[in-house]
Amino acid sequence: KSGVAASAAAPVSHDSQEAVFDYEGQYQAKLAKKHGDKSYRYFNNINRLAGRFPQAHTANAANIVTVWCSNDYLGQSKNPVVVDAMKDALDTYGAGAGGTRNIAGNSALHLRLEAELASLHRMEAALVFSSCFVANDATISTLCSALPGCVIFSDKMNHASMIQGIRHSGAKKHVFNHNDLAHLEQLLAQYPRSTPKLIAFESVYSMSGTVGRIPEICALAKKYGAITYLDEVHAVGMYGPHGAGVAEHYDYEASLRAPVGQRIAGSLMDQVDIVTGTLGKAFGIVGGYIAASSSLVDMIRSYAPGFIFTTSLPPPINAGAVASIQYLSESQRERYLQQTHVRQLKSDLASAGIPVVPNPSHIVPVLVGDAERAKMASDMLLNEHNIYVQSINYPTVSVGEERLRITPSPGHSTAMRARLLGALDSVWNKLGLRRTTDWEREGGRCGVGESRAQWEEHVGWKRGAEYMWEDHQLKQARDYEMARKGAVPITPAIPETVQQIISATMV
């Protein structure tokens, strides 16, 4: 017995002859794996020019390219109203926040921003985070660890931030097939109504452009005693008469009539329990947030480490976000132009046989189906045509569904669109990439080359509707803007003649 004890107490050998773990070798092996499966991420040096949106220069400031993949969907990052608000806050309050919200980092601008967000979503309260990745991770992990025996139901295509929050919560989870209501109900039915449940899903899925089935999921949540967690990251600013997202767009007319901030009883927005969004995409700034009931928001504020133990957003960021939200709540110009350009581009690509993953949103995913060739296509567009479109590979999308993700903006002109179409056609020919008819002969993939009946099962939104922004809504937006601006025509941010001059210098 004493021998066992002596052996257990024997110190670990630190003999200098013993080999040390090969840390660098491990790092290199992990990178080699990424290079081997073609999923290694390359970051291009792209410097967007505020005065020439949507153009940028590369590492060489004289090399001007047109950006077709930015998440600054509406060009708000260069909107003078937003920029001026940020400059004023910078001059008045300085560059930094000064600390966490609890220690010197809580200001009137933080409170104003949260009030604006709560009003936008017609919720009781809102809470701002440093990013929406942090918002999703902190909220889901904190909320579901606080609900005893909570079970989470997550859409298969949910963003990594929600998946991270689910992991950190320690709660039991079920993953349901994308937009598959029957599968979701089958999973929900396994548990009594008394079991706390959270259904996590998105309104617009960023890589496919498909739309979450919000009304049906809210109905299932009510039936089985669950709460809903709706990620509107790629929809805020873009949909609804005030830019509150897809939930608002479902009740477009009612939302148009009701003052911002006023609850609309029975509306879809009124049925969603928790909304999460970003300030870094259509609003053109940075940061994330949640909007929900006062008690839920206060609970997250009081318990979430991702909120408590981090420096708060700086005053200029808060001021710019407030200005952007207010501007897009009033202006329809940017949404009208963006949606019009999306329709035109999708139509042009279809005519050219360039394979676009079908969806009713503003995302234009062009299917390549191979990681290496998707990267080659992206490089050729940049180096030979001065067009920047990033390739999207695994794990962001499934292997075999690699793509180019295109996002038209209000500033993309007809000349720019023509150049993009010609460049894509050239790249497709040079690389021998499959066109829509080729995918059709192979049986189709992720909606491309499939019948409408097949892909409509998964794209969401209303059956038979080509786009979320319907014709009469676009007309209403156009008429509203022309009346507001004294019958001035709605045109891209940079006049067509200027774009043609710029394009001519790039040939």
Q: What are the catalytic residues?
A: 281
Q: CA-to-CA distance for 448 and 368, rounded, in angstroms?
A: 11
Token pair recorded at residue 112: 């104003």
**How far, in Å, CA of 111 to CA of 169, rounded?**
28
CA angle 388, 392, 397 (to 5 degrees): 160
Strands 288-292 and 364-367: unpaired
Residue 220 makes CB contacts below 8 A (sequence gap 6+) with: 181, 184, 185, 188, 199, 226
Distance (Å, rounded) from C-alpha 365 to C-alpha 382? 18
Q: Is the peptide bond before 395 cis (omega within 30 degrees of 0)?
A: yes
Beta strands 47-48; 197-202: pairing state: unpaired
Measured CA to CA, the distance from residue 20 to residue 22 in angstroms comes to 6
Q: Which residues pair with 388 in a beta bridge?
A: 67
Cβ atoms of 54 and 46 closer than 8 Å: no
In angstroms, the CA 164 to CA 186 distance is 24
- Burial class from Cβ neighbours inside 10 Å (0-12, 13-18, 19+) for residue 399 reads middle
Q: Are 194 and 162 in contact (CB under 8 A)?
A: no
CA angle, residues 145, 149, 151, in degrees to nearest 5: 85
Structure token digits, residue 349? 């690509």
Cα separation, 33 vs 504, in Å, equals 43
Classify 217 as helix, strand or coil. helix
CA of residue 427 relative to chain centroid, distance: 27
- Residue 186 tokens, joined: 């089958």
414-431 and 496-505 helices cross at what angle (nearest 10)? Answer: 40
